[in-house]
Amino acid sequence: MKIQRRMAFHFTYQLIIYSVLIFVAMCILLFILISKIMNEDLRSSFPAGALSSIVTETLFDDSNIKLSNRWRTLIEEQGMWLQVVDTKGDVIYSANTDSDQPMSYSVTQLLAIQQSGKYGDYFVDNQLDQSYSSPYLFLLGYKSPQQEKLERWYNAYQQNGLVSPAHRDALIAELRETSSYLLIVDQAGDNVQMIGDQASAVNEYEPLEVLIMQQKPRNYDTNIYVYQPPASKLTWIMHTPNAPGTFAKQPVFKEIIRVFIWMGGSILLLSLAISIWHGIRYGQPLMLFVGWFERMGRGLYDEVLTPKDRRRVFRRNGKLRIRYRLYREAIGSFYQMAERLAQTEKDRLQLEKTREEWMSGISHDLRTPLSTVQGYGYILENSPAHWSAEELQDMGKMIREKSGYMLELMSDFSLIFQLKQSAELIERKELELGELVRRAVLKYVNDATLSEADFQYEGEEQPIPVLGNEKWLQRLMDNLLSNAVKHNPPGVAVTAACGMVNDEAYICVSDNGRGMDDETIHNLFERYYRGTNTEESSDGSGLGMSIAKMIVEAHGGRIEVRSAIGEGTSILIYFSGDE
């Protein structure tokens, strides 16, 4: 147990360390990936997706709002402002606002902001957060010079919703200053008018294309600004190139691959180094054990350790070297094993002797009934005409009883062998114990040859489920019930009961017969205790109770005997609730 605990602790803490290292590495990798993905998503959708991230990362603690310094810095750098409005319209949090910003909003103001997306000179994104007991409205304001420019152009240059010919050259000059171009589309998404050097690059828009470009502006080489005049069916769309370096094609996947390669290579090298170290540390003692086993296999029990092995394993002071200390109990066990193997050889010889005695006992038990059968056979063979019908009937009965005894004896020998060899392999399934006992009693009640015995069944109304093998448990009941009849006078009353007591299922087979003395009770489960008596050989093999005990133990149960002379006998069997 010591070496088991030490090795379990040894490998457990190593496994824990390796698992922690891998877990930490994977957490770092996951954190990097999530950070990269979030930053990439924010970069591609800024400022459209900024408010959603702000709402997600904002914490409420006792009505106090906590916003990351990263967002406060970004809001200030981008010239934005942020306000959080409660259900009453009061501003409970603000960032980078000026003195002109109101600290309270009316319903009309909030509806106007939601419908127009603007407040004063600022474009405003809004999002309602209902994840708390009280909802909060987040307002993110920012300026968009390009959007303002597009609206100013419409008011200054349009004629019937299109750019007037008189202002076309002036508008082209302004577009060239920022390398931009303007498209005017109808309700179907078809180009009606194209102004600018690159305007011919786009022929028409898919229904969702403009929305996607507005939500993820950094994923395209141009940023778009849209203006829909209230009284016109035309839409002005201005394309402005993104700043150099802001557009990169799927950079996050390259970073993911790079991180995976770095982490995978590091883990591989670490695993390789650990494997080599483990191979050297644990391989040498195992090779030493292999040599020991080879010598012990040749019967050289006195040469478990050669002088060379001793020098490798022990120091001069007799203590084990460090690399072998993990196995110190195993090394000591090898010496004990050598002694036990020597003793085992002696036990094997004793077993051979016992087996011979066993065979001698079997021969003795079979010889007596066989001699009887053989004798009657000679009598019937030599002078069959001299015997009356009644005498012939008695001879046939004796031959049948003796042959039946031998068949029962051989069957019991086979059964004992099966139980000894495969007790742990008995297939068990859930069955109802009360029904099994009731059917066993019913079979004896219906047996016409047992009319002089009275059989009763007592059981509980609720089911008694147990895990067991129906065939073996039926044989158990047969042995108990038949013994109660064989070893008691005619008219005996036999009662079989079952139920639950202290979370255990039980079977009780009791009779009101002659009972047993203490010596009989003590030897009841010994093989041949009654079978070696040739006068009673026809009543059983003497193995019935021994078989009963083996069946009970194979099911993880226990068997008890309660009896006294003249007071009958009770056999109680208990099955644990988890069996």
Q: Residue 522, Cα to own-chain centre: how many angstroms?
A: 48
Who wins on pLDDT, 249 or 184? 184
- Is pLDDT of 497 > 80? yes
Strands 158-159 and 136-142: unpaired
Residue of 555, 551, 546 lying closest to 575 (CA atoms):
555
Q: Is the pLDDT of residue 537 over 70?
A: no
The closest alpha carbon to 217, from 235, 199, 243, belongs to 243
Distance in angstroms (rounded) separating the CA atoms of residues 128 and 135: 7
Distance CA 133, CA 128 (A): 13
Which residues are bridge partners to 227 per DSSP? 236
For residue 170, pLDDT over 70 is answered with yes
Same fold, 146-249 and 423-575: no
Which amino acid would we find at residue 383? Answer: S
| Chain centroid to CA 32 | 30
Band of pLDDT at residue 438, cut at 50, 70 and 90 = very high
Alpha helices (H) along 388-446:
389-422, 433-445
Instruction: Report the pLDDT averaged over residues 423-452.
Output: 84
Q: For the chain, give me the number of helices (H) and strands (E)?
A: 15, 20
More confident residue, 94 or 385: 94
Cis peptide before 47 (omega within 30 of 0): yes
Question: For residue 203, what pLDDT band results from cuts at 50, 70 and 90?
Answer: low
Q: Is the dihedral of CA 165, 171, 176, 182 positive or negative?
A: negative
Q: Which two tokens stand for residue 425?
A: 């392999």
> Rounded CA gap, 536 and 405, in Å?
10
The segment with the largest mean pLDDT, out of 59-63, 128-132, 310-314, is 128-132
Residue 406 vs residue 478, higher pLDDT: 478
Looking at residue 570, what is its pLDDT? 94
Order of strands, sheet of 191-195, starting from the edge strand that comes earlier in the sequence: 191-195, 181-185, 235-241, 222-227
CB 492 within 8 A of CB 532: no
Closest CA to 406 of 220, 253, 531: 531
In the DSSP assignment, the letter for residue 101 is S
pLDDT at position 62 is: 66
CA-based R_g, the chain, Å: 48
Q: Look up the pTM and report it.
A: 0.37
For the segment 513-540, the average pLDDT, to the nearest whole number, is 66
Specify whether the CB–CB gap between 501 and 575 falls below 8 A. no
pLDDT in tens, 550-579: 888 888 899 999 999 999 999 999 998 655
Measured from the Cβ of residue 515, the count of other Cβ atoms closer than 10 Å reads: 19
* Cβ contact 40:248 at 8 Å: no
pLDDT at 510: 95
In degrees, rounded to 5, the angle at the alpha carbon of residue 225 between the alpha carbons of residues 222 and 229 is 150
What pLDDT band is residue 35 in, cutting at 50, 70 and 90?
A: low
What are 394-437's pLDDT values in tens digits?
A: 778 888 877 876 777 677 666 666 666 555 557 788 999 999 99
Task: Please state which CATH number belongs to domain 146-249.
Answer: 3.30.450
E strand segments, 445-485: 454-458, 465-468
Distance (Å, whole) CA 468 – CA 435: 13
As a whole number, mean pLDDT of residues 370-398 equals 76
185 vs 257, higher pLDDT: 185
* Confidence category of residue 201, pLDDT binned at 50, 70, 90: low
The one-letter amino acid at 38: M
CA distance 289 to 304: 9
Percentage of the chain exceeding pLDDT 70: 75
Is 105 exposed, middle or buried (CB count within 10 Å of its CB: 0-12, 13-18, 19+)? buried
**Is the model's pLDDT at 89 over the cut of 50?**
yes
Residue 265 vs residues 35, 91, 269, 271, 328: alpha-carbon distances, Å: 22, 52, 6, 10, 37
Distance CA 573, CA 553 (A): 10
Out of 265-279, 468-482, 541-555, the most confident range is: 468-482
pLDDT tens-digit map of 98-141: 878 889 999 888 888 888 778 887 888 888 888 777 888 999 88
Q: How far apart are CA 213 and CA 204, in angstroms?
A: 14
User: Of 459, 463, 461, 524, nearest to 495 (Cα)?
Assistant: 459
Specify the fold of 423-575.
Answer: Heat Shock Protein 90 (3.30.565)
In the chain, what percentage of residues exceed pLDDT 90? 12
**Can you give the pLDDT at residue 561?**
93
Residue 62 falls in which region: left (phi positive, over 0), alpha (psi -120 to 50) or beta: left
Q: CA dist 219 to 36, 37, 48, 249, 500, Å?
A: 15, 13, 13, 8, 74
Residue 538 pLDDT grade (very low, low, confident, very high; cuts 50, 70, 90): very low
For 58-88, letters b (16+ CB in 10 Å) and e give bebeeeeeebeeebeebbeeeebbbbbbeee
Q: What are the structure tokens assigned to 347, written together?
A: 């036990």
Q: Is the pLDDT of residue 362 over 70?
A: no
More confident residue, 420 or 460: 460
| Confidence (pLDDT) at 574 | 94
pLDDT value for 145: 79
> Residue 457: what pLDDT?
93
Closest CA to 183 of 206, 215, 208, 205: 205
Q: What is the pLDDT of residue 441?
A: 93
Q: Residue 118 forms beta bridges with which residues? A: 123
Question: If you average pLDDT over residues 510-524, what whole number do you get?
Answer: 89
Domain boundaries, the chain: 46-143, 146-249, 423-575
**SS3 state of residue 138:** strand
pLDDT at 532: 37
Does 528 score more than 60 pLDDT? Answer: no
Average pLDDT value over all residues in the chain: 77
**Which residue in 184, 188, 215, 219 sits closest to 202, CA to CA?**
184
* Band of residue 214 on the pLDDT scale cut at 50, 70, 90: low
Q: What residues contact 395, with CB distance under 8 A and at least 6 apart? A: 376, 379, 380, 387
DSSP label at residue 321: P
The average pLDDT across 8-13 equals: 68
